Amino acid sequence: MSTTAENNHWPPCEGKAEEPFALPASLRPGRQDPPADDPFALAAQPQPLVVVISGPSGVGKDATVRRMKELGLPFHFVVTATTRPRRPGEVDGVDYHFLTHQQFQELLERDELLEHAIVYGEHKGIPKEQVRRALASGLDVIMRLDVQGAATIRKLMPDAVLIFLVPSSEEELIRRLEQRKTETPEGLATRIATARQEMERIREFDYVVVNSDCHLDETVEQIRAIIIAEKCRVRKRRFQI
């Protein structure tokens, strides 16, 4: 059988190869909703997702989301509002919206938060309008949440994709928490105890990804693969806010 290009039924491919971390062209944002009765359009027009990246304190949620941003992945990364103090290197409006307790209370009173919780004595919340606008524009929404917040999103948006990050071992998790040097001995003990409790809730999530030291890009690639797989589902996930 001939294998020449002339006998190949597929048209020649043109253009540059995909970047290693890019989404396939058919899965990129900015596409219109397909007609419900057109199976070809349905397959070619994936819907935006709400993806929650969660896990115990110290597992690397912030580092994972930061790396996804650095790689230019075409998602909307929700900027969480929080009353906790800013850590070294964090930028207001980029890593978090750092608010006073009064400012946070005003958001609550105006019903502007999709989800909110008290985490280690400080308030955290997801602004509704960010999520609403991103979904309306066709962008996948990435939320970085603690385990408690992820459970709340599951109740509010049952079709949300919940990803649970885990360390390669408990020893690795404890070492990461210790290296932060942001906690008192009592505070560190509380975080370790809470992390153990949160690990027991892993079955509440859709996917688990091991985030090992020095393998951050592998973690990001696994999350990207999950998102691609979800966009290939026949039964699409739907979201309303």
Residues recognised as catalytic: 87, 180, 191
Q: Is 194 left (phi over 0), alpha (psi -120 to 50) or beta?
A: alpha
Strands of the sheet containing 50-54, edge to edge, are: 75-77, 140-144, 50-54, 161-166, 207-210
Residue 193 parent element (H or E): helix 185-199
- Tell me, what amino acid is at 68? M
List Cα–Cα distances, 64 to 3, 127, 128, 236, in angstroms. 44, 21, 23, 26
Written as six digits, the tokens of 119 are: 């985490």
**Separation of alpha carbons 209 and 65, rounded Å:** 14
Dihedral pair phi/psi, residue 164, rounded to 5°: -105, 115
Query: Which are the contacts of 49, defined by CB distance < 8 A and separation ≥ 6?
Result: 140, 141, 161, 227, 230, 231, 237
User: Beta-carbon neighbour count of residue 235 at 10 Å?
Assistant: 6
